[in-house]
Amino acid sequence: MKYDGVIFDFNGTLLFDTKYHVLAWNEISMELCGRQVTEEIMDKEISGVPNVEAILKMKPDLTREEAEVYSKKKEELYRDFLRNAPGGEHLVKGAPELFDWLKENDIPFIIASASIIENIRFFVEYFHLDNWLDPDMIVYDDGSYADKVNMFLEAKKRIGADHVLIFEDSLSGIQCAQKIGADVIALETESMKEVYRQYPNVIHTMKDYSEVIDYLK
């Protein structure tokens, strides 16, 4: 493998949870500005953007403190929708096997997510992420990152990697990866299929991780 480290986004990349985010964001958006949130709006305007920044775009006259309250409310709604999903949820097909392969081949990897700490703790417990990585290493939205550029740079630093491969699904995440010169494998969705082709750093698209190990060898 030509990369010395791997960075994973989480939402929409390791977990197909867009529908739960759409439901939660729709409730917040309708309350703040009366605008419905669709999956396309999620993909192009919200995914990968820290919650507070997304909320301030919806209602610019809010203070950051007020936006923080709405951010926590949105994530509580999201966790409730996910927790109550019929049959439960699972990591994207092939992800656990890829984690195992990366560990077996001593390739460092990390999660860099725009999620807040409450969600990260929920994901670690719900999906047993500590079987593969140190939860304290995960980069998350702690309020100090304006976008994913600095998140990705911090993730590279934490795993001691220079030339990284990033798994992403959001437009903003792909743009931030491009700014740091990183290649991306994108999780393909109908609404984003054509958009991905505009970015030369998107070297491959996939629907799940079932064939990724062979691609990376």
Q: Are residues 75 and 126 in the same domain?
A: no
pLDDT of the residue at 217: 78
* Interatomic CA distance for residues 151 and 165, integer angstroms: 14
- Which one of 50, 83, 116 terminates a domain? 83
Q: Are residues 104 and 199 in the same domain?
A: yes
Element (DSSP H or E) covering residue 215:
helix 212-216
Q: Which two tokens stand for residue 120?
A: 């990260």
Domain count, the chain: 2
Q: Are residues 79 and 94 in the same domain?
A: no
* Interatomic CA distance for residues 115 and 117, integer angstroms: 7
Q: Are residues 135 and 112 in the same domain?
A: yes
Q: Are residues 64 and 132 in the same domain?
A: no
pLDDT of the residue at 48: 67
* Interatomic CA distance for residues 163 and 183, integer angstroms: 9
- Which one of 83, 117, 132 terminates a domain? 83
- Which one of 65, 83, 101 terminates a domain? 83
* Interatomic CA distance for residues 151 and 19, integer angstroms: 25
Check which CATH number belongs to the domain holding 212 and give it: 3.40.50.1000
Q: Are residues 68 and 133 in the same domain?
A: no
Q: Looking at this protein, which amino acid is placed at residue 148?
A: K
User: By C-alpha distance, which of 178, 183, 173 is closest to 203?
Assistant: 183
In the 8-state DSSP scheme, what is residue 137? G
Q: Are residues 11 and 44 in the same domain?
A: no
Q: Are residues 159 and 76 in the same domain?
A: no
Q: Are residues 152 and 73 in the same domain?
A: no
* Interatomic CA distance for residues 146 and 168, integer angstroms: 18
Residues in the chain predicted with pLDDT less than 70, given as ranges, are 48
Domain residues for the domain of 25 are: 18-83
